[in-house]
Structure 1
Amino acid sequence: MNAAAITPARPAAFSKAGALALVGGGFLLFLAMLWLIGSGAELGGSGNRGEGHAAANGLNGYSGLVRLVEAQGYAVERSRSRAGLATNGLLVLAPPHAADADAVADILTSRVYQGPTLLIVPKWQASAPGQNMSPEARGAFKRGWVTLEGTLPARWAEDLPAPYTFTHTPYPKDAVEVAQGAISAPLVPAPPQSRWRGMGRAGKLPTPAMTFAVRDPGQAQQPLITDPDGRVLAFSVTPQQGGKADPDAYPVIVLAEPDLANNYGLADPARAAAAIALVDALTDDGEIEEVTFDMTMNGFGASENLLTLAFRPPFLAATLSLLAALLIVGWRAFLRFGPAAAPAGPDIAFGKRQLITNGAGLILRARRFGLLGRPYAALAARRIADRLGLARAEAAAIDSALARRLPQEEPFTARAARLEAARTPADLVAAARNLDDLATRLTERPR
């Protein structure tokens, strides 16, 4: 046997603990990436860029309304998916000025028998702090704060279908100048703040600039909040069937004056109470427990993809099972291999052993044990003849020489005949050992 020298390989660059930490950390980061892609989370910022939506912290935003509704015990969700529009709970819509009237109409009509809706119409033109502001003024602004540049009615309200259509109108007509403070010049008295009343409450709006709804007289629109002159700031719409209110239809409340619900308006307790009263009216005083604030109409929609579905029931169970299987496979692969070893040369003996093993396995599988006796007897005859000093491995010559050398031993021919006649593995092994014992005794020195 040519034993091959085995030399240890170089020490590993990382210890077992270090390799496990690298693999585990990379796996966790990969899972985090999958989750972020699947959930549609934003990595580019908070979205506070002057828009009026449920995540905006500016005066025209509705993050305060989200927190206020949540504090009332409602289950609140900010939805960035179109699937959130199909909620059976209260849906709060706050479309921007550039919204598509058809898109708003599709949502309102699709929810007639699905759930109540609160439609907040935009009013303010807002932007982030400009570069022309002094450093002191810019330093006072917090993240997400905006500057109000004036009011602008929502033109898409006129294009809504019946019974939701109305005309969004500013008051006074020069409301842009009122909002910017141009009317409050020293020689011109500042207009008084607009007042409101409704839902069992009353108060003042934060600025003289106001927007209201001019309703269609032929539509089923019920005023809820007005100013002292009868201008409608909020009204409810109940779809009709056959000229009568449909009892199975869910109501819609349109808030034409958003200062009753945005961050600017919620600074006043009376206006905050009115906003909650509108929510309670749509949820039947808490009978509906879920409130969804839609953000897809403000440009925060996330499209559905396979990763999104993989992290939602019922596919979440399969995803977790697959991840567990990957962890088990990785752990087994990590523990399977011991220290690396590099052979110094070819292992010839291993090839011989493998050849013998394969041949023995073939005979064992074919169960042709009778074929082993005669070849092994011939091999034993050559070995014994060599030890007796004979030129040829003939059975008669071996018996004659063996009788002279070891007269008390059984003749070779009898042993070989017993081996050739064997048919079971046990008989073959016993007969082969008998021949091997004879060859061993011929190598022993006489005592």
Structure 2
Amino acid sequence: MTDAPSDSSFNPRLIGGVVAVGVAAFIALWALIALGPQLSGGKDGGGHALSKGAPGYAAMIDLLERAGAQVEVRRRVEPYRYQDYTQLAVLTPTHETRPGAMQEILAAQAGAPILIVLPKWQVLQTPGERKKPGWSGPGFRAAAPTRLLPADWFGETEVESEAAKSARGRAILAGRAIDIPLPDEVQTLSGPHLEALIVAPGGGAVLARTKNRDIYILADPDLIDNLAFASRDTARAGAMLLDAISEDADADGFAFDVTLNGFGSQRSLLRFAFVPPFIGITLCLIAAGLLALWQAAMRFGPALRPARAIPVSKAALIANSADLIKQAGRELDSADAYVLNQRAAIARRLHAPAGLDASAIDAWIDRRLTGHNGGFSALARRLPLARSAPEFLADAQALHDIRKDLLRDG
């Protein structure tokens, strides 16, 4: 003999765990899609503020913070100039940066001071070698494309490379002299709308400022990037240069932009769902969904077994017959049959004399009654003449009471 099948074909705890893991994974997936760029650590060895590779600027940011400067890594394109606080926006575009992206971020500054650091190095990955996180691969010099400086903002510009071995650059910014060592191969910039602040031996501008806007352009990034920390003198000179540019622009702090490097967090409804103040609504919706799942999974008491369509009992048979008569609207047509049934039952149980007709049996029953107005015979004649359900029910109940009193049953 085989065992009886279980009431449950699966393990509720196992299914609940699978559902919980699925819901958590779904929420985590959408959260990472929305916040992925913002949560990225930037360990790609590129030339941006989050990078600790050679062309990055993480070392300079750390040095500025240790010196007490207000430094922010900006992940959104929006103006950051306030009435009593101004930041110097440091833009670090790459060779692949679109001109439209530069136009957007320049327009978003709304007149706030800007320092644009042009790219100089392109990094490659060695074929067959796995790149280490945060490390830069082999690099080569590549002149910054002039499309990074839109013509309607800077006019026609030209980027060149000059030999400057053991040369030093000198600038007067904010009333103080800045002396900074130049790389052996320095990248320079020239243009009719630019004012040179630091000049290379060949005459090109290493640091320039636009004549009609408060925008600075550093042509060679090796003055402030992580490569500058190869020597104490270069690192110190780079920090002093940034401080002098900030003071000359009347800025109170630095904001290193990383949106041009692919680490921005753009505005989107999906992102808003996971950041304040809308994160509270998202958590409430998640809690409501979990409560709905819990309520749907819970059941009170044992599992309900399917009932028979027609119960097996005399009471069920009588109830079904009564429902059928009611639905057919034939309640009053059963009066004669009901009277006959009650008369026969009383005569049989009380052993009425044989050979009596219906009238004689009714009279015989009346002689045995006490306390019933009208007697059995009167009700037996009146019941078939009923014209409404309440009238029929009252007389039928009276006949039933007579039977109960005579036969002592229910």
* Per-residue deviation, 1:277: 4.5
* Per-residue deviation, 1:284: 2.3
2:395 aligned with 1:437: no
* Per-residue deviation, 1:386: 3.6
1:407 to 341, 359, 369: 369
Deviation track 1:365-418 (CA, whole Å, cap 9, x = no partner) reads xxxxxx998468656534413412479xx98566324225x3325223556759
Aligned residue number for residue 192 of structure 1: 166
State the alpha-carbon separation in 2 of the partners of residues 379 and 65 from structure 1. Answer: 109
2:80 aligned with 1:76: no
User: SS of the residue aligned with 2:311?
Assistant: helix
Unaligned runs of 5+ in 2: 82-86, 349-353
Aligned residue number for residue 188 of structure 2: 212
2:242 aligned with 1:284: no
2:308 aligned with 1:346: yes
1:125 to 122, 134, 143: 122
- Scaled by the length of structure 1, what TM-score is found? 0.64
Higher relative contact order (CA 8 A, sep 6+): 1
User: SS of the residue aligned with 1:412?
Assistant: helix
2:19 aligned with 1:57: no
Aligned residue number for residue 259 of structure 1: 222
Deviation track 1:315-356 (CA, whole Å, cap 9, x = no partner) reads 76765554444334223212346432444x734129979979
Q: CA RMSD in A?
A: 4.9
Whether the 8 Å CA contact 2:162–2:202 is kept in 1: the answer is no
State the alpha-carbon separation in 1 of the partners of residues 319 and 195 from structure 2. Answer: 94
Aligned residue number for residue 35 of structure 1: 31
Q: Percent identity?
A: 24
User: SS of the residue aligned with 1:348?
Assistant: coil
Whether the 8 Å CA contact 1:195–1:203 is kept in 2: the answer is yes
2:91 to 90, 93, 102: 93
* Per-residue deviation, 1:145: 1.6
The change in CA–CA distance for 1:62 and 1:444 in structure 2 (over 3 A counts) is: same
* Per-residue deviation, 1:35: 1.5
Whether the 8 Å CA contact 1:99–1:156 is kept in 2: the answer is no
1:384 to 342, 362, 366: 342
* Per-residue deviation, 1:430: 7.4
Q: Aligned partner of 1:235: which letter?
A: A
Instruction: Kindly tell me the number of residue pairs found equivalent between the two proteins.
Output: 378
Following superposition of structure 1 onto structure 2, how do residues 274-353 of structure 1 map, counting pairs within 5 Å? 274-279=241-246, 282=249, 284-286=251-253, 291=255, 293-295=257-259, 297-298=260-261, 307-308=270-271, 310-311=273-274, 319=282, 322-336=285-299, 338-343=301-306, 346-349=308-311
Aligned residue number for residue 133 of structure 2: 143
Q: Aligned partner of 1:438: which letter?
A: I
User: SS of the residue aligned with 2:289?
Assistant: helix
Whether the 8 Å CA contact 2:162–2:188 is kept in 1: the answer is yes
2:160 aligned with 1:169: yes
Whether the 8 Å CA contact 1:92–1:293 is kept in 2: the answer is yes
Aligned residue number for residue 186 of structure 1: none
Whether the 8 Å CA contact 1:58–1:144 is kept in 2: the answer is yes
User: SS of the residue aligned with 1:85?
Assistant: coil
The change in CA–CA distance for 1:143 and 1:317 in structure 2 (over 3 A counts) is: closer
Unaligned runs of 5+ in 1: 1-6, 133-137, 174-190, 241-250, 364-370
Q: Aligned partner of 1:55: which letter?
A: L
